[in-house]
């Protein structure tokens, strides 16, 4: 059974850095990309970026470029998303998801349960 299990909720102050994790089980970790998606309270879904666990290469949305780092640890089958210089607008649920499809033409399945990041002074 494929599962993506994310770390727990975080509360951070403005300007701080948060790092959340996504533990993968049920398939060879290096076989599929991991994507991260942001959902602000009451809002829609926005793609943050991806990592290829096979070689560690990452790709980011322009909106988050320079503040986000997505990585993968093949020794623990875990992907990470680190977001720095936090501001109130970063308050959101962050989901990891497995990218499925040919090359990088990916739809997302399955998804992790989500991690709430709250940025508040």
Partner 1 sequence: EIVMTQSPATLSLSPGERATLSCRASQSISRNLAWYQQRPGQAPRLLIHGASTRATGTPARFSGSGSGTEFTLTISSLQSEDYAVYYCQQYKNWPPYSFGQGTKLEIK
Please state the closest distance from residue 26 (CB atom) to partner 1, in A. Answer: 13
Between 49 and 53, CB nearer to partner 1: 49
Shortest CB 40 distance to partner 1, Å: 12
Pick the stretch among 8-16, 17-25, 76-84, 109-117 that binds partner 1 (CB under 8 A).
Answer: 109-117
Return the range that interacts with partner 1 (CB under 8 A); candidates 10-18, 24-32, 76-84, 106-114: 106-114
Residues with Cβ < 8 Å from 71, sequence gap 6 or more?
A: 51, 56, 58, 79, 80, 82
Please tell me whether residue 1 binds partner 1 under the rule CB under 8 A: no
CB 107 within 8 A of CB 101: yes
Instruction: Render 97-110 in DSSP notation, one character per residue.
Output: EEEESSTT--EEEE
């Amino acid at each position: 059974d494929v599962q993506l299990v994310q770390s727990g909720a975080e509360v951070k102050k403005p300007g701080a850095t948060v790092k959340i994790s996504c533990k993968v089980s049920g398939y060879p970790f290096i076989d599929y990309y991991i994507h991260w998606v942001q959902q602000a309270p009451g809002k829609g879904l926005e793609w943050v970026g991806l990592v290829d666990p096979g070689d560690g290469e990452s790709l980011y949305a322009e909106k988050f470029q320079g503040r986000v780092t997505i990585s993968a640890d093949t020794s623990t089958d875990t992907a990470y998303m680190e977001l720095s210089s936090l501001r109130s607008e970063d308050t959101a649920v962050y989901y990891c998801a497995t990218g499925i499809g040919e090359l990088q033409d990916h739809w997302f399945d399955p998804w992790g349960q989500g991690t709430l990041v709250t940025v508040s002074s």
